[in-house]
Chain A
Amino acid sequence: MSKQADIWQGTLALMVLKTLETMGPCHGYGIARRIEQTSDHLLAVNYGTLYPALLKLEQEGYITSSWDTSENNRRAKYYRLTRAGKKRLERATKEWEQATEILARFLAPGEATSA
């Protein structure tokens, strides 16, 4: 447990959007589980921090929510991606890839001095 990394600031929203894109409509617990599983339990999601993030995304109009019944027959609030959310995800993914690429180049040994 103690070796798990905390989620970096600002990346949680991206993970939520990506999860919803892959899994389709999903409830908060499901999203949290999915993030943990995808990260191979390297990331520890404090489930509590998820809900304010969900609310923020909803307020910004990237996701919507509605009540539905879960696979094991429990009432739960399901979140789904909106069109704006999809666009946001595309853009954010691109940005993220760019950022990691730059950072990767920057950190690669020997590369930094060659400029």
Chain B
Amino acid sequence: MRGLRAAWLRVIGTFASAQRDSDLSAELQAHLDLHIDDQVRAGLPRDEARRQALLKLGGVEVTGDHVRDRRGVPVIDALLLDFRYAVRGLRRAPGFTVVAVATMGLGIGASTAIFSVVDSVLFRPLRFTEPQRLTMLRPSSGSRLSPAYLHDWRLESQTFQDMAGWHDVRVNLTSRAEPLEVLADRVTSNFFALLGTPAFLGRTFTTGADLSRVEPEVILSHGFWQRRYGGVPEIIGQPITLDGKILTIVGVMPEGFTVRTNELAESRAELWIPLNLVPGNRIGMGGFLNVIGRLAPGASVAGAQAELGAIARRIEQGYPSYSRDWSLQVLPLLDATVKEVRPVLLVLFGAVAILLLIACSNVANLVLSRTATRHTELTIRLSLGATAMRLVRQFMTEGFLLATTGGALGVLFAILGTELLVSALPAGLNLPRASEIGVDLRILTFAILVTMLAATLFGLVPAVSSVRSTRKSALREATRGSSSDSSRVGLRSTLIVLEVALAIVLLGAAGLIGRSFWELSGVNPGFRPDGVLTMRTTLPESRYDSDERIRTFSSELLERIERLPGVEAVGSVNYLPMSRFGSADRFEIEGRPEARIEDQKFSWVSVVGGRYFEAMGIQLLRGRLPGDVDTEKTQPVVVIDEELARRYWANENPIGTRINWSRGEDERLSGEIIGVVGGVRWGGMASDPQATTYFWFPQDPGRQLTVVARTVEDPTMLAGAIAAQVRRIDPNQPVAEIRAMRDWVSEDLAQPRFTMLLLGSFAAGALLLSAIGLYGVIAFAVTQRTREIGIRIALGAQYTSILRLVMQQGMLLTGIGLVIGIVATLALGRVMGSLLYGITPTDPATLLAVSLFLAAVALLAMYFPARRAATLDPMVALRTD
């Protein structure tokens, strides 16, 4: 108890010391005075009395120290003292401190910001109940599943607790003044219960074991509720008209609720409507469902995969014509969500980690230079009896102070940077879980860990190297600071080599991404995107219930737009290239033997109307294009692209051949090939042209209409006029995505562009830091060798020979760094592979260019201190110490 009380008082005593100090000296003074009084009374002269009193007390200062040690905790006292020294020392070198802290701040800030993105997207569990049990079920070919599978799996599977399916639809909302097309997910009624996310407001769909019974209900997304209904809670229970049908709003989901699958159509649903999973609904076995499952407790992914595969085989027994060469993939939902962005994020994280390393080595280098200039101070302190430990502690404190200040600045940068990064994410990037990105405790822990590592590096490395070298040289050290201590120089050189090597790796990565982006932008997508405006409208079944009505609407719309001044050609298509929507089907060529299941012919299918090919700038290679002569009453015609022609009519003329299509199980279509057009990169610039068949809209009308208009001038100027034509025909008909075709292409390139910009700025930072580091080392060497250089100049050395002398060292370091960097880049190339287009990760031209560039920058960085050395006045130089 007493001990505890005393300890506590001592800790307190460590801090409130000023008042106690004056108290103590007053007490000691009183002691002296009393003693002297006594001695004088005993007959001693005052001087002698004072001397004896002091002797007996053992000196005021020493006694004061003893008491002070007892009063506080000596270790803390010393630490505080170190801390005070460190602050004072750093304040005395403001340039050094600002540069070091800013470098650290940027390094830690950038890496923490990127880490917060990586962590939020890749590592943090999804925001569902027990997310580790959620899985995504999909065929290995990447397309979707037939409801038949979902139905049977649900009934038979033991490894799954439940499964839900959904698909996206576009619905027209007409219950408010302005008709609006919205993206919705049609989900089985157990969808929300399976994920375990409760509604933010109201309720989710009620669910029973039987998924074939659905209520006319709808659930809103948080964002849609805010935007469209101003976030009023009274919305629950209100009716809403979708595609002409009246549904009741029963709930609003919490903010950020979404299920991302990251395939062609990711869910950005604003509404959820129930999907009726009819037991007998096996029509066509065509796949259109995304399926997620919740594993039973204890079930494994592999076990689930085997079980579902077996059930699927059984289902297929009843459908002999259906393809069997697919296998099922059961993926943890998190993997399925982020699979596509993982390589990019990891590369970016690696890049920023490299940047941080460079920043650290740069600051370590600065600290080393600073230590070198304090050589004399250290020598004196050592010889006055300071222990090496004491000096190391002093360095550690300084390093700690630098790193923590840098770290604090870094955390600030990270918070700002993360916000900036999220707000700067281009729409086309489609980064999953973007709304979940934020700085939290894990991120701060990361920043603190990095800071601690940096603190150790900045403290320990220079401390040990410096104390060791000081000890060694303490005796033989002349007063002139001309010695260049070998161990310290060695350490600095190593750091520079490391920096250059790391900078090369980053520059190489940025260079490769840049080149790849350039290649990608130069790719011919198969159409001419400039000067084309696109606009989409989806005709609802309720008002457009017959082919005739659809045809009438479409032809009137195209005619009206064609008549607008400034429009060159207008056409329509069901799904636009690069819009991430589309469909494919099987076909047979008439006159050839029916293909076996294994080599069935597949083709991308597109339905075009009007002058689509002219409007898009797709070239006609052979035959003719469909036109007004081809109607629903004449022979059905199709146009194929060169890719399909090359694949199935290698040396023949396809024109005039008939091909037959099966759409679903029983619908058959056939058409005569009348023309061959150029290939189109449907899936984006990085994809290959897809073998395509174009049907003719008047002969195969659909409700999905995307108008494509080629204009004389800037297409966006006609946006209003073109969109107005839809409402002239049908005021209740909404239009969506009125945008230039160029924007679609640009959005397709958003991810590579974003990666390029981020990597590019990291590389620029790395280059700058390495240049500064190199500059620092050479400048320092020049200062150290001033006398030597002065003598050389005095003895007649030429300008160029001094320049060479000084730069030699830097060139050597740069050279070694370059070689190591190139080797590392070649070794790391694999990681980059999946991000590159049109070039290999070992592209020699890029690596050569990057190396030359870095060498040039390095030369420039070395040139300034070298020139200063070469133009030294020998008289001044010789006098320096």
B partners with A: yes
Chain A residue at minimum C-beta to C-beta distance from B59: A48
In the complex the two chains form, is B34's CB within 8 Å of A49's CB?
A: no
B-contacting residues, A45-94, CB 8 Å:
46-49, 51-52, 55-56, 59-61, 70, 72, 74-77
- B35 cross-chain contacts in A, Cβ below 8 A: 29, 47
**Which B residues are CB-close (under 8 A) to A72?**
34, 37
Q: Once the chains are docked, how many angstroms separate the CA of A74 from the CA of B26?
A: 11
Q: Which of B40-68 contact A (CB under 8 A)?
A: 56-59, 62-63, 66-67
- Verify if B227 is at the interface (C-beta below 8 Å from A): no
Beta-carbon contact of A55 and B33 below 8 Å: no
B564 within 8 A of A: no
Contact partner of A74 among B2, B37, B56, B57, CB < 8 A?
B37
Chain A residue with Cβ nearest B9: A59
Contact in complex: B58, A28 (CB < 8 Å): no
B27 with A70: CB separation less than 8 A:
no
Find chain B residues with CB under 8 A from A51 CB.
24, 27-28, 63, 66-67
Contact A48 B66 (CB under 8 A): yes
Give A76 to B27 CA distance when docked, in angstroms. Answer: 6
By a CB distance below 8 angstroms, the chain B residues around A75 are 26, 30
B71 at the interface (CB under 8 A from A): yes
Q: Is A18 an interface residue (CB 8 A)?
A: no
Whole-angstrom CA separation of A55 from B72 in the bound complex:
11
Q: Are B30 and A27 in contact (CB under 8 A)?
A: yes
The interface bits of chain A over 78-112 (1 if a CB of B lies within 8 angstroms of the residue's CB, else 0) are 00000000000000000000000000000000000
The size bracket of the interface on B is: 20 to 34
Contact of A47 with B67 at beta-carbon distance under 8 Å, contacts A27-B31, A59-B10, A61-B2 already known: no
Residues of chain A with a CB closer than 8 A to B370's CB: none
B35: min CB distance to chain A, Å: 6
**Inter-chain contact B27/A48, CB cutoff 8 Å:** no
Of the residues A52, A60, A74, contact of B67 by C-beta under 8 Å: A52
CA–CA, A49 to B57, complex, Å?
A: 8
- From known contacts A28-B27, A56-B70, infer whether A76 and B10 are also in contact, taking CB-CB under 8 Å: no
Q: Does B69 contact A (CB under 8 A)?
A: yes
When the two chains form the complex, which single residue of A29, A48, A70 contacts B63, counting CB atoms closer than 8 Å? Answer: A48
Determine how close the nearest CB of chain B comes to the CB of A51; give it in whole angstroms: 5
Given contacts A51-B67, A52-B70, A55-B67, contact A29 B6 (CB under 8 A): no
With A49-B66, A51-B28: A76-B5 Cβ-Cβ less than 8 Å: no
Contacts of B66 in A (CB 8 A): 48-49, 51-52
Contacts of A60 in B (CB 8 A): 2-3, 5-6
Verify A47–B34 contact, CB threshold 8 A: no
Give 1 or 0 for each of B498-519: 1 = CB within 8 Å of chain A CB.
0000000000000000000000
Q: Which of A34-54 contact B (CB under 8 A)?
A: 46-49, 51-52
* Shortest beta-carbon distance from B51 to chain A in Å: 14
List the B side residues contacting A33 at CB < 8 Å: 38
Q: How far is the CB of B173 from chain A (nearest CB, A)?
A: 78
Complex interface: chain A residues within 8 A of B58 (CB): 46-49
A74 and B33: CB pair below 8 A?
A: yes
Complex-state Cα separation, A59 to B14, whole angstroms: 13
Kindly provide the distance from the CB of B640 to the nearest chain A CB, expressed in whole angstroms.
97
Chain A proximity mask over B1-35: 1 for CB below 8 Å, otherwise 0: 01101100110000000000001101110110111
CB distance A59 to B6 under 8 Å?
yes
B505 CB, nearest partner CB in chain A, Å? 59
Contact B70 A74 (CB under 8 A): no
CB neighbours of B26 from chain A (8 A): 75, 77
Please tell me the size bucket of the interface on A: 20 to 34
Complex Cα gap A77–B70 (Å):
18
Question: Among the interface residues B23, B31, B71, which one has the most CB atoms of the partner chain A within 10 A?
Answer: B31
Query: Which residues from chain A contact B34 at a C-beta distance below 8 Å?
Result: 27, 29-30, 70, 72, 74, 76
Q: B-side binding surface: helix, strand, loop or mixed?
A: helix
CB pair B67 A28 closer than 8 Å:
no
The distance in angstroms between the C-alpha atoms of A27 and B69, with both chains bound, is 21
Contact of A77 among B5, B9, B30 (CB under 8 A): B30
Residues of chain A contacted by B31 (CB below 8 angstroms) = 27-29, 47, 76
* Cα–Cα, bound, A60→B4 (Å): 9
Q: How far is the CB of A71 from chain B (nearest CB, A)?
A: 10
Q: How far is the CB of B1 from chain A (nearest CB, A)?
A: 9
A62 CB to nearest B CB, Å: 8
How far is A77 from B25 in the complex, measured between Cα atoms in Å?
11
A-chain residues with CB within 8 Å of residue B56 when the two chains form the complex: 46-47
CB distance from A49 to the nearest CB of B (A): 7
Q: Name which residue of chain B comes closest to A57, CB basis.
A: B6
- A106, chain B: closest CB distance, angstroms: 30
A48/B37 contact (C-beta < 8 A), A28-B27, A59-B10 known: no
Residue from A33, A47, A48 whose CB has the most chain B CB atoms within 10 Å: A48
Q: Which residue of chain A has the shortest Cβ distance to B37 in the bound complex?
A: A72
CB neighbours (8 Å) of B28 from chain A are: 51
What B residues does A47 contact at CB under 8 A? 31, 35, 56-58, 63
Within the assembled complex, what's the spacing in Å between the Cα atoms of A30 and B9?
26
Whole-angstrom distance between the alpha carbons of A33 and B34 in the complex?
11
- Does A76 contact B30, Cβ atoms closer than 8 Å? yes
Interface residues of A in 6-43 (CB under 8 A from B): 27-30, 33
Q: Nearest CB to that of A65 among chain B residues?
A: B27
Of all chain A residues, the one with the shortest Cβ separation from B7 is A59
Closest to A73 in B: B37
Alpha-carbon gap, A30 to B33, bound state (A): 12
Give the nearest-CB partner of B30 in chain A. A76
With contacts A48-B58, A48-B62, A52-B67 taken as known, whether A77 is within 8 angstroms of B27 at the C-beta atoms is yes
Which residues of the partner chain B approach A55 to less than 8 Å between Cβ atoms?
67, 70-71
Most buried by A among B3, B69, B71: B71
Contact with A along B179-194 (1 / 0, CB 8 A): 0000000000000000
A29 to B34, CA, bound (A): 7
Shortest distance from the beta carbon of A89 to any chain B beta carbon, whole Å? 14
Across the interface, which residues of B come within 8 angstroms of A28, CB to CB? 27, 31
A23 smallest CB distance to B (angstroms): 15
On whether A74 and B30 interact (CB within 8 A), knowing A47-B56, A55-B71, the answer reads yes
* Nearest neighbor of B31 in chain A, beta-carbon distance: A29
B6 near A56 with CB under 8 A, answer: yes
Closest to B5 in A: A61
Residues of B close to A49: CB separation below 8 A = 58, 66
A59-B37 CB under 8 A given contacts A48-B57, A52-B66: no
CA distance A27 to B30 in the complex (A): 9
User: What distance in Å separates the Cβ of A59 from its nearest Cβ neighbour in chain B?
Assistant: 4
Give chain A residues whose Cβ lies under 8 Å from the Cβ of B33.
74
User: With the chains together, A76 CA to B34 CA distance in Å?
Assistant: 9
- Chain B residues with CB under 8 A of A74: 30, 33-34, 37
Q: Which residue of A lies closest to B41 (CB)?
A: A72
Q: Is the CB of B30 within 8 A of A29?
A: yes
Q: How far is the CA of A106 from the CA of B647 in the complex (A)?
A: 114
User: Taking each of B26, B57, B71, which has the highest tally of chain A beta carbons within 10 Å of its own beta carbon?
Assistant: B57
Interfacial chain B residues near A59, Cβ < 8 Å: 5-6, 9-10, 70
Taken together as a complex, chains A and B put the C-alpha atoms of A28 and B26 apart, in Å, by 12
Q: Which residues of A contact B10 (CB under 8 A)?
A: 59
Which 7 A-B residue pairings sit nearest by Cβ, starting from the closest?
A: A48-B58, A48-B63, A52-B70, A59-B6, A76-B30, A29-B34, A60-B2
Task: Mark A residues whose CB is within 8 Å of B.
Answer: 27-30, 33, 46-49, 51-52, 55-56, 59-61, 70, 72, 74-77
Q: List 23 A-B contacts (CB under 8 A).
A: A27-B31, A28-B27, A29-B31, A30-B34, A46-B56, A48-B57, A48-B59, A49-B58, A51-B24, A52-B66, A52-B67, A52-B70, A55-B67, A55-B71, A59-B5, A59-B70, A61-B2, A61-B5, A74-B30, A74-B34, A76-B27, A76-B30, A77-B30
Interface residues in chain B, defined as those with a beta carbon under 8 Å from any beta carbon in chain A: 2-3, 5-6, 9-10, 23-24, 26-28, 30-31, 33-35, 37-38, 56-59, 62-63, 66-67, 69-71
| Additional A-B contact list (14), CB under 8 Å, known A49-B66, A51-B67 | A29-B31, A29-B34, A47-B35, A51-B28, A52-B69, A55-B71, A59-B5, A60-B5, A61-B2, A72-B37, A74-B33, A76-B30, A76-B31, A76-B34
